Amino acid sequence: MTIISYDAEKGPIRRIEAESAQLSGGDWQLTGAKIWPLEAGVNAEGAAEEHETLTIPSSLTVERIRESIARVAAVSIYELPEFIRQLEQAGFSTRQHEVWLQAELARPFFLVAMVLVASAFTMRHTRFGGTGVAVLASILLGFGLYFIRSFAQILGENGQIPVTLAAWAPPVA
């Protein structure tokens, strides 16, 4: 990990390299750290300090890191499997991204289901009457299916139901 400290007027003032770093309780716990001063006229390597462990205060939290990770809808579906793999390697939860990926793969089937629902209610002769009721019923059923899809997606993201069930049950139902 590399950390560069800045001064508002002077610019970069020091560079820290560490073999590993862990964020805990508002502090970075660095192991195998080396600090180089970045001041004019100073031999950076000659003035470097090595530390087995080093604690650096930080305003960064795990929650802020999670929030800064790209919104799931902002990542291309073609890049999403690799993005999920990288998040797993970094130790973050990928459940929301996995549900989104499966839901996007299931979207064509969901759209077909919506068309079938609409056609089931509206494909009859208008002279038999009741067209308004049929259209209203198809709209309500469509909204209901959309609500079930969104609800299942939330349950899947929270881990209350499996990812595949959250994404594929609404279109198949």
Same domain assignment for residues 61 and 78: no
Indicate the pLDDT class of residue 62, thresholds 50, 70 and 90. confident
pLDDT of 38 reads 87
Indicate the pLDDT class of residue 121, thresholds 50, 70 and 90. confident
Same domain assignment for residues 95 and 141: yes
Indicate the pLDDT class of residue 78, thresholds 50, 70 and 90. very high
Using DSSP, state whether 103 is helix, strand or coil.
Answer: helix
How many domains, the chain?
2
Residue 12: is its pLDDT beyond 70? yes
Cβ partners under 8 Å of residue 75, min gap 6: 83, 97
Q: What are phi and psi of 118, to 5 degrees?
A: -65, -45
Same domain assignment for residues 94 and 163: yes
Same domain assignment for residues 117 and 133: yes
Same domain assignment for residues 99 and 156: yes
User: What's the average model confidence in pLDDT over 14-43?
Assistant: 88
Rg (CA), the chain: 27
Find the domain containing 98 and state its range. Answer: 71-172
Q: Residue 35 burial by CB count (10 A; 0-12/13-18/19+): exposed, middle or buried?
A: buried
pLDDT of 18 reads 92
User: What's the average model confidence in pLDDT over 150-163?
Assistant: 94
Residue 170: is its pLDDT beyond 80? yes
Q: Which residues pair with 4 in a beta bridge?
A: 15
pLDDT of 68 reads 63
Same domain assignment for residues 108 and 130: yes
Q: How many CB atoms lie within 10 A of CB 32?
A: 15
Same domain assignment for residues 118 and 144: yes
Same domain assignment for residues 88 and 168: yes
Where does the chain show beta strands of DSSP type E?
Answer: 2-7, 11-17, 20-24, 27-37, 49-57
Final residue belonging to a domain, choices 65, 84, 104: 65
Same domain assignment for residues 92 and 142: yes
